């Protein structure tokens, strides 16, 4: 049985994955969490693979990486004495370490937040996106195997919006190739 592929938007898939079970969640952590939790409850998937675009200041545009650690980068309650990125009163660690490691790809930490990251905060992570943390956390809690493949679409900088729009044309094909090479 093939895994369920999870994208935020149809534009990231470009009709390249029609032979898979594909879930489009909508953009952001809340949309991703809701859609995936509902999908898992209704369908009991064997594996979830999150595919999509991400910005990076550490990896070149056009590469595919395999994040296996996830941080909720917009959680900041340090004013109340909590560690940066720690969700108050949660037993979850700051860094969620959940995801299948694929030997042929670089791994790293994905910082997820509900903004299109272009500031200095992006340099603290291997990549930045808007859904990875929520998806990995739900899969971990539900004990569903998880993998993440991110196409580096932009440098998470001032030109990120232009780079991201242009990269949608090539991202899906690169992600499909990486998925096939990983034999997932």
Q: What is the pLDDT of residues 118-176, one digit of tens each?
A: 777 878 899 999 999 999 999 999 999 999 999 998 776 776 666 677 788 799 999 99
State what percent of residues in the chain have pLDDT above 90. Answer: 80
Would you say residue 65 has pLDDT above 80?
Answer: yes
Would you say residue 3 has pLDDT above 90?
Answer: yes
Q: Provide the 10 A C-beta neighbour count for residue 179.
A: 21
State what percent of residues in the chain have pLDDT above 70. Answer: 95
Between vectors from CA 34 to CA 50 and to CA 8, what angle results, nearest 5°?
A: 35
Query: Is the domain 4-181 a CATH 3.40.50.850 member?
Result: no
Q: Where are the beta strands (DSSP E) in the chain?
A: 4-7, 21-24, 48-55, 64-72, 96-97, 107-112, 127-129, 146-154
Per the CB < 8 A criterion, the answer to whether 43 and 79 are in contact is: no
Per the CB < 8 A criterion, the answer to whether 49 and 5 are in contact is: yes
Structure-model confidence comparison of residues 162 and 8, the more confident one: 8
Q: pLDDT tens for residues 43-60?
A: 999 999 999 999 999 999
The pLDDT, as a whole number, for residue 160 is 64
What pTM did the predictor assign? 0.93
Domain definitions of the chain by residue range: 4-181
Q: pLDDT tens for residues 109-131?
A: 999 998 877 777 878 899 999 99
In this structure, the strands spanning 64-72 and 107-112 are: parallel
Per-residue confidence at 76, pLDDT binned at 50, 70, 90? very high
């Amino acid at each position: 049985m093939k895994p369920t592929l999870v994208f935020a938007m149809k534009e990231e898939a470009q009709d390249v994955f029609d032979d898979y079970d594909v879930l489009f969640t909508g953009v952001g952590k809340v949309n991703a969490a809701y859609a995936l939790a509902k999908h898992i409850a209704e369908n009991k998937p064997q594996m979830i693979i999150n595919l999509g675009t991400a910005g990076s200041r550490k990896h070149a545009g056009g590469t595919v990486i395999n994040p296996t650690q996830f941080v909720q980068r917009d959680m900041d309650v340090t004013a109340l004495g909590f560690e940066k990125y720690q969700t108050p009163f949660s037993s979850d660690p700051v860094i969620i370490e959940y995801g299948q490691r694929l030997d042929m790809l670089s791994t790293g930490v994905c910082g997820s937040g509900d903004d299109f990251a272009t500031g200095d905060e992006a340099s603290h992570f291997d990549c930045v996106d808007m859904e990875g943390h929520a998806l990995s956390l739900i899969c971990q809690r539900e004990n569903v195997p998880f993998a993440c493949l991110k196409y580096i679409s932009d440098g998470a900088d001032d030109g990120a919006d232009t780079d991201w729009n242009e990269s949608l044309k090539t991202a899906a094909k690169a992600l499909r190739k990486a998925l096939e090479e990983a034999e997932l």
